[in-house]
Amino acid sequence: MEEASPVEMQWKVCPAKMYPKKALFGWIFIIFLGLMISTTSILLGICLTGILIATQATFLFHSTFTITNEGLVAKYPFRKKQFKWAQVRRVTFLKDVCYMFSRKKPSNLDGWTGIAVLYGDKRDIVIEKIKTYLNEDVIA
């Protein structure tokens, strides 16, 4: 049986709690649009409202991030992504998020193959922890 590597750091982030005005506006917009579509067809309105919520799920709901000796695991509301530290070839550190990519050169596939790591209120700690595990050949 495979042993899981010990958790170095784990945190949860909900951008909607960090930006309550944007979250309120987003929910009002989604509900308004859903109600407008529902005037034509109730079933279509419910389905499209669900799709709108699903497209904004990373912003509206919690995401959990875990850093281990093996790599990074990101659990978003509807999906889970993970990279081993050896897979990370390029990293971009921004104000609220860090993007990790498996390709050295920027590509149109970055949106599908990369991981967005939200810092939450632990920005400095997360950046330092990620930098300690990156290989020397990683482009930052």
pLDDT in tens, 79-132: 999 999 999 999 999 999 999 998 888 888 888 888 999 998 999 999 999 999
Q: Tokens 């970055």 — which residue?
A: 110
Q: What is the C-alpha R_g of the chain?
A: 18
Whether 2 shows a pLDDT value over 60: the answer reads no
Q: Determine the average pLDDT of the residues in 49-69.
A: 94
> Quick one: average pLDDT of 71-78?
93
**How far apart (Å, rounded) are the C-alpha atoms in residues 35 and 84?**
44
**pTM for this one?**
0.84
Contacts of 85 (CB under 8 A, 6+ apart): 70, 71, 72, 133, 134, 135
Residue 76 reports pLDDT greater than 90: yes
The structure tokens listed for 117 are 């790591």
More confident residue, 44 or 1: 44
Amino acid at residue number 113 = T
Task: State whether the Cα torsion 19-23-25-26 is positive or negative.
Answer: positive
Joined together, the tokens standing for residue 78 give 């509807």
DSSP class of residue 82 equals E
Where along the chain do its domains lie?
Answer: 7-13+63-133, 15-58
Topology (CATH) of 7-13+63-133: PH-domain like (2.30.29)
Contacts of 38 (CB under 8 A, 6+ apart): 44, 45, 46, 49
pLDDT given for residue 136 in this prediction: 80
- Between the alpha carbon of residue 34 and those of residues 16, 42, 47, 88, 114, the distances in Å are 20, 9, 9, 40, 31
Q: What is the pLDDT at residue 1?
A: 47
